Structure 1
């Protein structure tokens, strides 16, 4: 692979990763804030009036899946998922690169498939509506589709990075200083 091709692949991967990282951070942060504010408001109203707002009990059903999927995509972006690395020290960099690319291709196929299946689930459950907020249940299911798509995008950018990295172990490597 020529140096200019390598540089272009890296730039493309960096831009896609940045978009995925920003999006998943915003999704997780907004979801957490909405849940915190709504549940805090519910506690205050219950304390003062001894009654419930009602609609706040539906918000976890809508926003918690977004929080979880945002966190899962963030973990994939930052290489924070559980992994077994004991055997990697025994493999050559070329074999490690090939192994990682194969694993990322499997992830790409699986999560792209789950994205398509998720769309079908949304089509089936699209008529469900939460009674108090009148929000369609589609919104909770869209979190799965978006999360699966985010992981598939991360698999693509990881492959691009693996193709251009000198050390395949450095791709999506955890920052050890954070662990100390």
Structure 2
């Protein structure tokens, strides 16, 4: 059982590293595209870049979903702290496990449904870049699946090592 938990934790760490990378790259890309378009709007006769309205719409979902994965890993997403504070001992662990189990199941269903919608949306293309409209739906499917992975890892870590091993970010922290 320890090997499975170690494997899940290793996969979760890879997911977090990938999510950090996606957050940084997409954040920079969003900033550069938006800034370049503002500059172009005032300096070019064309009034800006035609792709600059589509590109952020395609990049933004990846930025948001990567951030959600990071928040889930850090324990800062959909927290129910008031309930945990009222429970002690095994009841706290049971509530934590049930809440995380519901989250995992919900995110897996969301990932599956988003992939179905992505297949449907892949027929349509964006007007300028001619990219499939499924890109945003795939970000949701992948992000929801990754949230499931990091939630399972967090649950197994707490069940294996105790309540003190649960990550609790303060309001001032940014889990990057």
- Scaled by the length of structure 2, the TM-score of the pair is 0.88
CA contact (8 A) 1:101 1:162 kept: no
Q: Could you say which residue in structure 2 is the equivalent of 1:15? A: 10
Q: Could you say which residue in structure 2 is the equivalent of 1:42? A: 37
1:163 aligns with 2:159: yes
The equivalent position to 1:109 in structure 2, one of 94, 105, 111, is: 105
1:39-73, Cα deviation, whole Å (9 max, x unpaired) = 11111211211422111110111011111111111
CA RMSD of aligned residues (A): 2.0
Q: Could you say which residue in structure 1 is the equivalent of 2:72? A: 76
Q: Could you say which residue in structure 1 is the equivalent of 2:131? A: 135
Alignment partners' CA distance in 2, 1:95 and 1:108: 20
CA contact (8 A) 2:26 2:62 kept: yes
1:147 aligns with 2:143: yes
Alignment partners' CA distance in 1, 2:30 and 2:61: 11
CA contact (8 A) 2:84 2:96 kept: no
Q: Could you say which residue in structure 2 is the equivalent of 1:123? A: 119
Alignment partners' CA distance in 2, 1:165 and 1:20: 21
Structure 1 spans left out of the alignment, 5+ residues: none
Q: Could you say which residue in structure 1 is the equivalent of 2:28? A: 33
- Scaled by the length of structure 1, the TM-score of the pair is 0.87
Structure 2 spans left out of the alignment, 5+ residues: none
Alignment partners' CA distance in 1, 2:96 and 2:118: 32
Alignment partners' CA distance in 2, 1:174 and 1:72: 14
Residues 178 and 65 of structure 1: is their aligned pair in 2 closer, same or farther, counting only changes over 3 Å? Answer: closer
Alignment partners' CA distance in 2, 1:176 and 1:39: 29
- After superposing the two structures, state which structure 1 stretch, 56-65 or 12-21, moved more: 12-21
CA contact (8 A) 1:27 1:70 kept: yes
CA contact (8 A) 1:31 1:67 kept: yes
Alignment partners' CA distance in 2, 1:59 and 1:176: 32
Q: Give the total of aligned pairs.
A: 173
Shift of 1:83: 2.6
